[in-house]
Structure 1
Amino acid sequence: MEHPLTTMPTTRQPGCPFDPPKELIQTREHSPITPYSFPDGHQGWLVTGFDLVRSVLADPRFSSRKELMRHHPTIDYGDIEVPPAPPGEFLLMDEPQHSRYRKPLVGKFTVRRMRLLTERVEQVTAEHLDAMEKAGPSADLVTAFAKPIPAVMICELLGVPYEDRGRFQEHIDKFLSGGVSDEELIAAYTAVQQYLAELVVAKRANPTDDVLSDLTDSDLTDEELKGMALILLSAGFDTTANMLALGTFALLQNPDQLAALRADPELTDKAVEELLRYLTVVKTFQRVALEDVELGGQTIKAGSTLILSGNTANRDPERFTDPHTLDLRRQDGGHLAFGHGIHQCLGQQLARVEMQVAFPALLNRFPTLRLAVPAEEVSLRPETADIYGVKSLPVTWDA
């Protein structure tokens, strides 16, 4: 391309629902870092190369603080001042505030502890596959499979009482999945906040065996615990739900890879990592330079906002061989789907366990699983959504 990209593309190529917008790919080919003009006139940067995205995510000279994020890639907010992140919402904080909230959680999400949850994930997955099979031979995989599994697991981790889960899941679905009016979105967000506040109070009074109860035995305030619970909820539900649905779609569109996974259970772990890289449902991160920084041959001035394009970084040919091909036997791993640095996804091991269990269970239960509509008719979430995926995935199988 002759000129660097200065507006964020939001449209993927027809027939290529898994690939980043071609303008972003062309931008990375032009340069791994290029100027970007935000709608409010701020002159920032778009970073599309793997090495540069990874280096920014690990560099404390680039901030995650919410109050510094005054520039949106597609929306002009005018003169509205962005407030600091609410207590407990540590993804939008720097050190030392970030560690105050993240450190108490680290021990709750170790690889060992998450693997101990495998049996429960298998049970939850089997229950939903049983219900699918009984109601079949067709289903919307999003509502029957992809959303319920992580929703049940996050409810159990937070200690949401069984009788509250239906109502709670309905609110979080509206709050996180989009596709509703602004009024419904605000109402759902308010309902989730109110419920979490009540849940924290209940756990203080009567602790049970869950992460939130464990955290009440600390110096964290109720408001801080509510914010932390909201982060766990957001990170533990929507991303995994979209990976399960979009990942199944990708496998169905790559029958040779699907056949390889069915034939070789030992391939499951690699398959999950490759789907994470290939799909990169969390498309972008954002950072602000706290001081002048040299990056990729450019001088990033203090106060400049950077958009970090995770989906082009994970398709960077300088890092991955044949990056636009889904290859479940890929040898060059090490993706950025969970981010990098101090903000790397805390719940990534739980997400891995859920996918390592759910994908093979689904494919083995329904060996004739296939799309019930032409691929081009599958309803995708808008590219402007924070998390990419499908709105629905109609599937069918031989009874």
Structure 2
Amino acid sequence: MSESLHTLAALPTERQPGCPFDPPKELLEAREHGPISRFPFPGGHEGWLVTGYDLVRAVLADQRFSSRRELMRHHPLIDIGEIEMPPAPPGEFLLMDEPQHGRYRKPLVGKFTVRRMRQLTERVEQVTAEYLDAMEKAGPGVDLVTAFAKPIPSVIICELLGVPYEDRGSFQDNIDKFLGGEVGDEELMAAYVAVQAYLAELVAAKRANPTDDVLSDLLDSDLNDEELKGIALILLSAGFDTTANMLSLGTFALLQNPAQLAALRNDPALIDSAVEELLRYLTVAKQFTRVALEDVELGGQTIKAGATLILSYATANRDPERFSDPHLLDLRRQDGGHLAFSHGIHQCLGQQLARVELRVALPALVGRFPTLRLAVPAEEVALRPETADIYGVKSLPVTWDA
């Protein structure tokens, strides 16, 4: 092993002032030293930080690296001592390997195809128009997060899974708490327990009275109620939080890049490449973790069995060896293939739904309000902490000419 191999002593918890869209400086510097660095976890475990596009993609495609929660015995920010993690609850397949992962994912694949998600376009347009109408009626000056970015994906994913409309608000609040990285352990656990209890009631209600939704469709499978509850948790939280933050952070990025905003407003055909570029540039799902199941050679280094790897999607999507001018937001960019939806067996199941929502909502917003702008200086926009699972803005005050 090379003695010159870079070591990142600690995972950064803040972004550079004035650079809310760029990964933390320390991660970008680590990538400059090479695509893989040593990373000593709190507590002494010698792990790895993978920052280069090709290596991140290689790990995600290699089943010698595990996603199983019970193997995740090290935390990048705190020493968790001798705590042994239990296996993931039934149905929560993001934290599982094959064959368990496939057993839960396969019944869902056909329900989230490109064709099926595009059939939702009209409904997404309706929901988007409803919230734009409400914004216009309220007049200039709203928090775009609560007025637009959160409600649209929340309504759509709740309808897909059959969550009653009147329950959406409390569900959304609890998801915010356990994914937002800002509440204490006690409040976080209370929110998680509340969501679990609600989903148990929802599954029982579907058993008693199936309706036209994805969760009811799964009742004919061999999945039990605990497994259905876990699947519902994954779909509801992932289907809401990531897209909500892409809508708000994406709007913030466009407002800070007026030439790109003008290009999108003036050229509707640009929306497909614009969405892919915003996904790459912002990478709200910043990083994930894997554990080596055996000794593996990676990037010229021997990764020992049991070693923990942090995969930095954010720096992989800014890798200059993969993307030209990677720190430039260019809505006409053609060098696609970003990792914003991950890769391999865990590639995001709902990626086509997210694309439909972004392709509809962003141009509708900037078209309805051609003078849309920040209502506060950019440096005063409240950002989610780097410790949040999903990066984004907490609030985005905007205004426009009435």
TM-score, normalising length: structure 1: 0.98
Q: Determine if the alignment matches structure 1 residue 313 to structure 2 residue 316.
A: yes
Asked if 1:346 is matched to 2:383, the reply is no
1:104 is the counterpart of 2:114 = no
Tell me the equivalent position of 1:151: 154
Secondary structure of the structure 2 residue equivalent to 1:108: coil
8 A contact 1:115–1:353 mirrored in 2 = yes
Matched, 1:274 2:269: no
Of 66, 75, 79, 1:76 maps to 79
Measured after TM superposition, the shift of residue 23 of structure 1 is 1.2
Q: CA deviation at 1:178?
A: 4.2
Equivalent position to 1:32, from 23, 30, 35: 35
Q: Does 1:199 align with 2:189?
A: no
Q: Which runs of 5+ in 1 are unaligned?
A: none
Aligned equivalents of 1:162, 1:239: Cα separation in 2 = 20
Which digits, 9 at most, give the CA deviation of each residue in 1:149-189, with x for residues without a partner?
A: 01101110110122322333333333333433443322222
Letter of the 2:339 counterpart: L
Q: What is the match of residue 245 of structure 1?
A: 248
Q: For 1:273-330, what per-residue CA distance to the aligned partner results, in whole angstroms no more than 9, with x for missing partners?
A: 0000000001101100001100000000000000000000000000000000000000
Partner residue, 1:54: 57
Residues in 2 aligned to 1:88 and 1:154: alpha-carbon distance in whole angstroms? 18
Question: Contact (CA 8 Å) 1:262, 1:360: kept in 2 or not?
Answer: yes
1:292–1:302 Cα contact (<8 Å) kept: yes
Asked if the contact 2:181/2:387 (under 8 Å) is kept, the reply is: no
Once residues 172 and 27 of structure 1 are traced to their aligned partners in structure 2, the CA distance between those partners, rounded to angstroms, is 32
Contact 1:33–1:296 (8 Å) recurs in 2: yes
**Whole-Å Cα distance in 2 between the matches of residues 179 and 245 of structure 1?**
18
Matched, 1:335 2:338: yes
Q: How many aligned positions are there?
A: 399
Question: Which secondary structure state, in structure 2, belongs to the residue aligned with residue 299 of structure 1?
Answer: strand
- Whether contact under 8 Å (2:277, 2:331) holds in the other structure is yes
Contact kept, 8 Å, 1:177 with 1:238, in 2: the verdict is: no
**Alignment of structure 1 residues 1-399 onto 2, 5 Å:** 3-399=6-402
8 Å CA contact 1:4–1:30 kept in 2: the answer is: no
Measured against aligned partners, the alpha-carbon deviations of 1:324-343 in whole angstroms (never above 9, x if no partner) come to 00000001111000000000
Give the Cα separation in 2 of the matches to 1:148 and 1:179: 21
- Determine helix, strand or coil for the equivalent of 2:38: strand
SS of structure 1 residue aligned to 2:220? coil
Please give the TM-score of this superposition, normalised by the length of structure 2.
0.97
Deviating 4+ runs (over 6 angstroms): none
How well do the aligned residues superpose, as a CA RMSD in angstroms?
A: 1.2
Distance 2:343 2:388 in 1: 21
The 1-side partners of 2:46 and 2:111 are apart by 41
Q: Structure 2 stretches of 5 or more lacking a match?
A: none
